[in-house]
Amino acid sequence: MKILIVEDEAKTADYLRQGLTENGFVVDIATNGVDGRHLAIEHDYDLLVLDVMLPQLDGWGVLKALRERKDTPVIFLTARERVEDRVKGLGLGADDYLQKPFAFSELLARVRALLKRSKGREPDVVRIGDLEVDLLHRKVFRAGARIDLTAKEFALLALLLRHQGEALSRTSIAEQVWDINFDGDTNVVEVAMRRLRSKVDDPFDKKLLHTVRGVGYVIEDRGT
Ligand code: CA
């Protein structure tokens, strides 16, 4: 899941990035409204965390431009205890808001609730063969035994699972699992894939992760 944070205060942005990354999200940051608008419209994010007071273009401007084109869920951050702000934000099409200062745990709970609502049709638990993945609580089991994955390994597995049976290119994986500062070296994808396989596939007879020559990777139950 990919989240864009539009926030000019470096401290807040770093704090949010760290917390969200630790919880398995891929995070991009824009530090002004113009960059935020551009990224939100040109890229596909699962959710935006949008500050209201921003240089160049305020959060309302970003939200307005975004809503003319996309339904990406938006949580806006307001520093002011003003009812008008909340009404304005929700009126412009924001899905939720948080008043600064807020606890990270509250933001995380709202992010999860909003994603659950927006991805309503997506199941929380996905199974393929004897692999069971709880996407919401980020738990992985194979043949009933718990497997511990790093945040990146989990993000990679979740992406492949959302596209079961569909081969994904290394470039497309890199775009969706790494943030915008990723240098495009797809070896990193291969290394992460090898680590994921060593945990999810290597100890088992039946392989679920497959390399598609010249394309990339797919997760698929190919029978026995
Ligand atoms: Ca601000």
29-74 pLDDT tens trace: 999 999 999 999 999 899 999 999 999 999 999 999 999 999 999 9
Distance 96 CA to ligand 1 centre (A): 17
What percent of the chain lies above the pLDDT cut of 70? Answer: 98
∠ CA 82-62-47, rounded to 5°: 90
The DSSP bridge partners found for residue 212 are 216
Highest mean pLDDT among 4-8, 156-160, 162-166: 4-8
Which phi and psi (to 5°) does residue 135 adopt?
-70, -30
Angle between helices 59-67 and 83-91 (to 10 degrees): 20
Taking CA atoms, 62 is separated from 35, 45, 112, 194, in Å, by 9, 14, 22, 40
Residues with CB under 5 A from ligand 1 (ion): 8, 51, 53
Assess whether pLDDT exceeds 90 at residue 171: no
The count of C-alpha atoms lying within 13 angstroms of the C-alpha of 179, restricted to the half-sphere facing its C-beta, is 16
Assess whether pLDDT exceeds 70 at residue 184: no
Please state the pTM of the whole predicted model.
0.78
